[in-house]
Structure 1
């Protein structure tokens, strides 16, 4: 009897944790029941996630959310974009307020070991840099000893600068802001000599200055900043789905499957890799809890990784960012995804 009572006590103690685990493992069912994907995005960063004058969201991360919605819900429009800041993004993911964090966020060991989240992969290879006013006469970060540096709170940027300046035996004065709007205004008004962030963000911020042509992004890159979507820990099915949406977008570019030809290739292609991607062969969608056309739908809605990049960030956009490290591995970049097989 004593052993039985002890076993029951242990089971009772474990029940809350088991219930919480079950709740965390139901994201796909929750999204389908709700009929909408709740996607956490930047509050306003040109090229990645920002509202236009008509109120519609656009950007690289926005298109990833739409691709995920098309794969899971059958409709790229079934997304609720939830603006999240650097301070509340992880709390909103952990609480279930968002199903996926697509806001530009650096994958680090500390975040993945200390926070209840998992990064699904790298969607954008970035690095931390600096932007200055040309009047400052600076052409390298090595010339900025004693500078006042603007930081956005809740990011990895200040730690990277501390490491860089300590290694170079340089001093600096931190000027921290809670929001990007406040920071841009402060930098524009001369409250600091430079702003440091991911280089991609610096190009977007430059467009928001009173006189963009008066600012210069320095060539120095002082860190690795692998950006990628994140999901809650404890739901392997949802983790797998979000991860393979990203991998499918990258594989599609490598296989030359585009928004315009995806539907035709499903029936016409003789390439086994293309046929597996588009659901003509295998059971890859059903194995994840989706149907066979999950990738076909998302590619028809948003195009492949290269098309999403070109539309939002590429040389024909105001940001005019070259692919660089974000080119396919076969074209000199780092972009590489496991195969669908």
Structure 2
């Protein structure tokens, strides 16, 4: 892939277009208005990044791939039993919240930080955290820097109107370090400015920096400094006011996390559904309880989500971990029970 962002032709976001209705979901008397509209439409409208390696991008055949993309597919599978019953809507940072507010998308799975301001603004709700990130700096190895505190007087590329811009301003101001911000409209422009040496450093979430580095002509000539200057809990966002739809997204995410914790994988989910005597696994896979119908989903909602994209660990490794070009360590995104432990903790289904 030649760049973090690929420009592809995207059909108009006609959310009213009716597709053939699916019949795999169960009705409920208290069904979410959002979920009811999705079922009537026949597909999920999922907002994603317009092109970020590892998270959301189109491959050479035009198919959407990535960490967030897999969560979109898992959500569609939980609703319809079909991971392809989803329309991906690529959005810039500036477009993402407005697209959610005006109903062009049903859920935003797009490396978005959960902050108090966003959560208490009255229009948005975060349903969980699927990636714990932090902001850092990408610099040329030839500068021989060991810390961001050595960037005195440096030109720093940063995206406008983002938490990234605010964080970097706070970082340098509190340390009394002079810097020259090179503020551009999009992440793509920031990466391009860094690549042509219009700035000395590029600041963004560390995962985005790792993605950017893979697209540079000589990735080994660039290094991510060890400083982590912020906490960036990334997760799915929905419109406020539809609590049941928020629960659908929250519990789909938790089902994928529990799948990894309980050893349920894309490869063995069918066998475990048939043979497992572990009550935790049986509840997860719909063999015990009415957890899916309580959400307005089929009993097999979690099984279908795992069968579509794999469990959380499989999604991580394929897109961001050792099986990917980014080769990111699990770190904080390891399971709470792993050694060393991380922050990923699935809520119990019971």
TM-score calculated relative to the size of structure 1: 0.91
C-alpha contact (below 8 Å) 1:128/1:222 kept by paired residues? yes
1:283 corresponding residue in structure 2: 290
- Rounded to whole Å, the distance in 1 between the matches of 2:323 and 2:282 is 32
Q: 2:239 aligns with which of 232, 236, 256?
A: 232
- Rounded to whole Å, the distance in 2 between the matches of 1:119 and 1:96 is 16
Matched, 1:337 2:342: no
Which string of whole-angstrom CA distances, capped at 9 and with x for unpartnered residues, describes residues 282-304 of structure 1? 00001111110111111111110
Matched, 1:67 2:74: yes
Which string of whole-angstrom CA distances, capped at 9 and with x for unpartnered residues, describes residues 141-172 of structure 1? 01001111111122101211122112211111
- Superposed displacement of residue 316, structure 1: 2.4
1:216 corresponding residue in structure 2: 223
1:128 corresponding residue in structure 2: 135
- Superposed displacement of residue 25, structure 1: 5.2
- Rounded to whole Å, the distance in 2 between the matches of 1:311 and 1:176 is 33
Moved more, 176-185 or 329-338: 176-185
SS in structure 1 at match of 2:238: strand
Which string of whole-angstrom CA distances, capped at 9 and with x for unpartnered residues, describes residues 81-118 of structure 1? 10011111000000000000000000000011125110
The unaligned stretches of length 5 or more in structure 2 are 1-30
- Superposed displacement of residue 137, structure 1: 2.2
- Rounded to whole Å, the distance in 1 between the matches of 2:176 and 2:235 is 32
1:49 corresponding residue in structure 2: 56
- Rounded to whole Å, the distance in 2 between the matches of 1:115 and 1:166 is 31
SS in structure 1 at match of 2:325: coil
- Rounded to whole Å, the distance in 2 between the matches of 1:36 and 1:318 is 31
- Superposed displacement of residue 180, structure 1: 2.4
Q: 2:281 aligns with which of 267, 274, 278?
A: 274
1:323 corresponding residue in structure 2: 330
- Rounded to whole Å, the distance in 2 between the matches of 1:151 and 1:39 is 26
Q: 1:307 aligns with which of 314, 321, 345?
A: 314
2:28 corresponding residue in structure 1: none
C-alpha contact (below 8 Å) 1:87/1:153 kept by paired residues? no
- Superposed displacement of residue 38, structure 1: 0.6
Which string of whole-angstrom CA distances, capped at 9 and with x for unpartnered residues, describes residues 30-75 of structure 1? 1111111110001100000001111011000000000000001210
Moved more, 80-89 or 203-212: 203-212
CA RMSD of aligned residues (A): 1.2
Which string of whole-angstrom CA distances, capped at 9 and with x for unpartnered residues, describes residues 242-268 of structure 1? 000000000110000010111111121
- Rounded to whole Å, the distance in 2 between the matches of 1:91 and 1:154 is 14
- Rounded to whole Å, the distance in 1 between the matches of 2:42 and 2:72 is 14
TM-score calculated relative to the size of structure 2: 0.89
Higher Cα Rg, which structure: 1
- Rounded to whole Å, the distance in 1 between the matches of 2:323 and 2:274 is 33
The structure whose residues are more often helix, as a share, is 1
2:7 corresponding residue in structure 1: none
Q: Size of the alignment, in residue pairs? A: 318
